[in-house]
């Protein structure tokens, strides 16, 4: 059964809530940026079955029972991924009761997990989807203490179980932010980070009966030590907020023996130490628009940071820490292209690379058989402001552009409509 995007909208198959997923869907005629070994395919077909991509190619047979979405002249990409943000945790930043991202005036450590605070009914999910964003890492903000806690991967469709990869990364803060949480000294912040892991190793070597007694003599409570012990044993990625080049060098030197993948968040001056980052295979998650010396940690910030890092062999991903602005990720990537970053690298920075950094690279971030059917159909180049998302798809379920802003627009276009429709 063939359907155009407009017909699907009219039939309500793309409604935010209550739609029934077709068992088999074929998207035909699009220019498909797979972000995988297949590269870019013209006039291709993507076949989705039960929320999983079954086939991709220019000669894929379409089953008779498939619902066909005609996409000729349009562009299909993987769903965009927000590498680290507060979406789902903060609804109104000025209202403390809607902020579950951080603890205030309370000790916080590596065991703090935000996964139970994710609001699947957040109106920001719909706003993010209008920009093609389908998943994000909901992460704690550094609070009291160098360790901020655990970040989890979430889906942005309002599903009953929004957390798809719980406690996937361990978040910490060094540099100026870490110093503020460690008595005012950068050196003490780094020392606290290393001390935490050293105590966790000591705690892990003790026998079960003596563990809690041993923990009473250490700087962290037993539940934080157990979180760090798990991070070490499972090689959980350590994501560290840090900007200044000197702090990056100190972090690289101090963590060389730690058996954890290291990811830099921020990295305003990362270009200055790009060769060292490349040598350690340490990626940088950054804001490509961050070119202002907003603090002493960012005096060397420059607009072509991503380009310089890429040229040195460093993987980059783009992020927006504030959930309200996550929809702008594609604009950030487009600006990086304007500063010399190759187009394919910029698109990967908001699709494939975040998935890899989450440890989800075998199921997200590409259009390939076996991957989750998280897709976006664009009217044109997704990194151009003149293009927009016709629909997004999360695990095979398509969604029309739907947000509080669009609902308000439609309401006041028709004053007779007095009640806002439900959904994000």
Q: Count structural domains, the chain.
A: 2
Q: Is residue 407 part of a domain?
A: yes
Distance separating alpha carbons of residues 166 and 25, to the nearest angstrom: 29
Domain encompassing residue 404: 2-78+376-413
Q: Is residue 368 part of a domain?
A: no
Identify the pLDDT of residue 144. 72
Distance separating alpha carbons of residues 265 and 316, to the nearest angstrom: 10
Q: Identify whether residues 294 and 315 lie together within a single domain.
A: yes
What is the mean pLDDT of the segment spanning 150-166?
96
Q: Identify whether residues 161 and 205 lie together within a single domain.
A: yes
Considering only residues 44 and 416, tell me which one the structure prediction assigns the higher pLDDT. 44
String of DSSP letters for 49-92: ETTEEEEEESSPPPPTTPEEEE-TT-EEEEPEEEEEE-TTTBS-
Q: Identify whether residues 288 and 329 lie together within a single domain.
A: yes
Residue 18 has pLDDT above 50, yes or no: no
Q: What is the mean pLDDT of the chain?
A: 88
Q: Describe the chain by its helix, strand, coil percentages, rounded to 5.
A: 35, 25, 45
Q: Is residue 218 part of a domain?
A: yes
Q: Identify whether residues 121 and 108 lie together within a single domain.
A: yes
Q: Residue 73 is part of a domain; what is its CATH number?
A: 2.30.40.10
Considering only residues 15 and 272, tell me which one the structure prediction assigns the higher pLDDT. 272
**Contact partners, residue 253, CB within 8 Å, separation at least 6:** none
Identify the pLDDT of residue 12. 40
Q: Is residue 371 part of a domain?
A: no
Q: Residue 316 is part of a domain; what is its CATH number?
A: 3.20.20.140
Identify the pLDDT of residue 99. 74
86, β-bridge pairs? none
Residue 219 has pLDDT above 70, yes or no: yes
Residue 195 has pLDDT above 60, yes or no: yes
Q: Identify whether residues 69 and 84 lie together within a single domain.
A: no
Residue 145 has pLDDT above 90, yes or no: no
Q: Identify whether residues 256 and 387 lie together within a single domain.
A: no
Q: Identify whether residues 70 and 89 lie together within a single domain.
A: no
Q: Identify whether residues 354 and 322 lie together within a single domain.
A: yes
Q: pLDDT tens digit string along 94-128?
A: 777 777 777 776 767 899 999 999 999 999 999 99
Residue 20 has pLDDT above 50, yes or no: no
Q: pLDDT tens digit string along 304-333?
A: 999 999 999 999 999 999 988 999 999 999
Identify the pLDDT of residue 367. 98
Q: Identify whether residues 203 and 140 lie together within a single domain.
A: yes
Distance separating alpha carbons of residues 394 and 133, to the nearest angstrom: 10
Q: Full-prediction pTM beyond 0.85?
A: yes
Q: Is residue 420 part of a domain?
A: no
Q: Is residue 287 part of a domain?
A: yes
């Amino acid at each position: 059964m063939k359907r155009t995007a407009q017909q699907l909208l009219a039939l309500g198959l793309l409604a935010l809530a209550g739609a029934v997923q077709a068992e088999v869907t074929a998207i035909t005629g699009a220019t498909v940026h797979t972000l995988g070994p297949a590269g870019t395919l013209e006039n291709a077909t993507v076949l989705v079955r039960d929320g999983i991509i079954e086939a991709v190619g220019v000669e894929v047979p379409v089953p008779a029972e498939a619902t066909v979405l005609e996409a000729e002249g349009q562009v299909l990409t993987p769903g965009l991924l927000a590498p680290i943000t507060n979406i789902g945790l903060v609804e109104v930043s000025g209202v403390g009761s809607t902020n579950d991202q951080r603890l205030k005036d309370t000790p916080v450590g590596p065991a703090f997990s935000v996964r139970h605070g994710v609001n699947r009914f957040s109106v920001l999910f719909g706003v993010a989807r209008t920009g093609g964003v389908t998943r994000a890492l909901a992460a704690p903000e550094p609070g009291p203490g160098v360790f901020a806690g655990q970040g989890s991967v979430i889906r942005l469709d309002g599903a009953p179980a929004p957390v798809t990869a719980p406690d996937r990364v361990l978040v910490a803060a060094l540099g100026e932010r870490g110093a503020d949480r460690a008595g005012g000294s950068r050196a003490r912040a780094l020392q606290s980070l290393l001390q935490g892991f050293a105590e966790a190793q000591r705690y892990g070597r003790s026998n079960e009966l003596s563990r809690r007694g041993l923990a009473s003599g250490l700087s962290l409570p037993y539940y934080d030590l157990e979180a760090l012990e798990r991070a070490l044993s499972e090689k959980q990625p350590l994501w560290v907020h840090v900007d200044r080049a000197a702090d990056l060098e100190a972090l690289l030197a101090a963590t060389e023996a730690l058996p954890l993948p290291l990811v830099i968040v921020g990295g305003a001056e990362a270009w200055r130490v790009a060769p060292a980052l490349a040598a350690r295979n340490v990626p940088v998650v950054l804001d490509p628009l961050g070119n202002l010396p907003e603090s002493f940690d960012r005096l060397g910030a420059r607009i072509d940071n991503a380009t310089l890092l890429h040229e040195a062999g460093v993987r980059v991903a783009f992020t927006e820490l504030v959930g309200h602005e996550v929809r702008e990720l594609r604009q950030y990537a487009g600006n990086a292209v304007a500063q010399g970053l190759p187009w394919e690298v910029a698109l990967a920075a908001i699709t494939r690379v975040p998935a890899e950094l989450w440890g989800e690279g075998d199921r997200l971030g590409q259009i390939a058989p076996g991957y989750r059917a998280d897709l976006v159909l664009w009217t044109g180049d997704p990194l151009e402001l003149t293009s927009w998302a016709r629909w997004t798809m999360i695990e095979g379920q398509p969604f029309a552009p739907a947000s509080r802003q669009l609902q308000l627009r439609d309401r006041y276009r028709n004053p007779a409509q007095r009640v806002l429709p439900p959904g994000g």
